[in-house]
């Protein structure tokens, strides 16, 4: 059986071989590039070129090809900018909200090296959007304007995914509330910590149902691990909301005797619960996370989800 990589690459090559050819080396520069085909003729400081996808570009590492075009189709001109912006989307890919999520995002952040940029298919964008929007909204993020699906081709040559079709259904509904299903692994916790504005260690006093949400009332004693924009006056009466979480399971909210690592963001006038982990003193992963947190650098989420 062919690997994901070969399936993905051969699908692209078969579709567009009459029009374009693949770059062969990381130092390859497109000397004959036609500007009108690339980002509406925008002039860049450096000519478009193929570069290796670095190991620390987690969003697209292992996506199915080894080299990407820079500048990319989102107009990021440096690898540092790509890494910063792309890192914001890694937690979403881990949520498995649609089988084509990684291919869709990487076709924009790390497009395959061809003689002209090939955009993702509109139907792929729509399917990923419909599947992932419920997850994003649970964390207080809307689908961003920069990914408006109407921007992408409907009938032209475009990039799809081998395990996603026009008929594939969104898988954005999770039986477990999204902020409650995080794995107790250092990298995963740090990713969700970065996606949150603040993080605290505390116990839960009470949980109430409020319309389609769950209202989480915390005990007075709290330890701030990541302050974000929280002020002391906010901390005293801090109440969080599990958005659209009235009916989905969250085992952490069923046992109020435990201490928890709680993460959140402020959206409008509400504080949204974005992650919750049991504070287990014997957990090596939790200890490792707290140690790494001191020096860990987060991507700029506020620049991405607009």
Rounded Cα distance, 100 and 156, in Å:
19
What backbone torsions phi and psi does residue 204 show, to the nearest 5 degrees?
Answer: -100, 130
CATH number of 4-151: 1.10.2000.10
Strand partners, 264: 198, 273
Question: With the C-alpha atoms ordered 194, 200, 204, 208, is the resulting torsion angle positive or negative?
Answer: negative
With a CB cutoff of 8 Å and minimum separation 6, the contacts of 172 are 97, 98, 130, 131, 132, 133, 134, 135
Max CA distance (Å), the chain: 67
CB atoms near residue 287 (< 10 Å): 13
Q: What pLDDT, on a 0 to 100 scale, did the predictor assign at position 240?
A: 94
Place of tokens 């419909």: 130
> What residues does each domain of the chain span?
4-151, 178-303
- Candidates 3.40.50.300, 3.40.47.10, 2.40.30.10, 2.40.50.120; CATH matching 178-303: 2.40.50.120
Tokens of 69: 């075009």
Place of tokens 């000397």: 31
Note down pLDDT in tens along the chain; length 306 residues: 333 333 333 333 323 322 232 322 222 222 233 334 344 445 455 678 899 999 889 899 888 889 999 999 888 999 999 988 888 788 888 888 899 999 999 999 999 988 778 899 999 999 999 999 988 888 888 898 889 999 999 877 898 876 655 555 555 455 788 888 767 888 888 877 887 889 999 999 999 999 999 999 999 889 998 888 888 788 888 899 999 888 889 999 988 889 999 999 888 888 999 999 999 888 888 888 888 887 887 765 444 443
Q: What pLDDT, on a 0 to 100 scale, did the predictor assign at position 26?
A: 28
pTM for this entry: 0.66
Q: What pLDDT, on a 0 to 100 scale, did the predictor assign at position 169?
A: 52
Indicate the length of the chain as a whole number: 306
């Amino acid at each position: 059986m062919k690997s994901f990589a070969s399936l993905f690459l051969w699908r692209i090559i078969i579709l567009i071989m009459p029009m374009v050819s693949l770059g062969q080396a990381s130092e390859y520069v497109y000397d004959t590039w036609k500007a009108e085909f690339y980002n509406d003729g925008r002039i860049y400081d450096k000519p478009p070129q193929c570069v290796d996808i670095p190991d620390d570009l987690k969003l697209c590492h292992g996506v199915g090809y080894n080299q990407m075009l820079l500048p990319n189709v989102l107009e990021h001109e440096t690898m540092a900018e790509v890494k910063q912006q792309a890192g914001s989307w890694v937690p979403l890919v881990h949520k498995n909200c649609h089988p084509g999520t990684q291919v869709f995002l990487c076709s924009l952040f790390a497009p395959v090296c061809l003689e002209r940029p090939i955009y993702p298919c509109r139907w792929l964008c729509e399917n990923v959007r419909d599947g992932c929007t419920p997850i994003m909204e649970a964390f207080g993020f809307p689908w961003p304007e920069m990914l408006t699906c109407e921007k992408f081709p409907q009938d032209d040559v475009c990039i799809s995914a081998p395990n996603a079709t026009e008929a594939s259904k969104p898988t954005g509904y999770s039986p477990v509330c999204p902020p409650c299903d995080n794995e107790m692994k250092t990298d995963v916790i740090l990713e969700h910590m970065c996606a949150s504005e603040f993080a605290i260690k505390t116990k839960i006093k009470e949980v109430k149902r409020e319309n389609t949400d769950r209202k989480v009332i915390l005990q007075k004693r709290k330890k701030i691990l990541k302050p974000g924009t929280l002020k002391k006056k906010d901390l005293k009466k801090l109440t969080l909301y599990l958005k659209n979480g009235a009916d989905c399971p969250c085992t952490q909210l069923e046992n109020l005797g435990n201490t928890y690592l709680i993460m959140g963001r402020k959206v409008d006038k509400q504080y949204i619960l974005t992650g919750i982990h049991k504070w287990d003193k014997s957990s090596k992963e939790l200890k490792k996370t707290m140690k790494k947190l001191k020096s860990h650098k987060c991507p700029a989420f506020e620049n991405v989800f607009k």
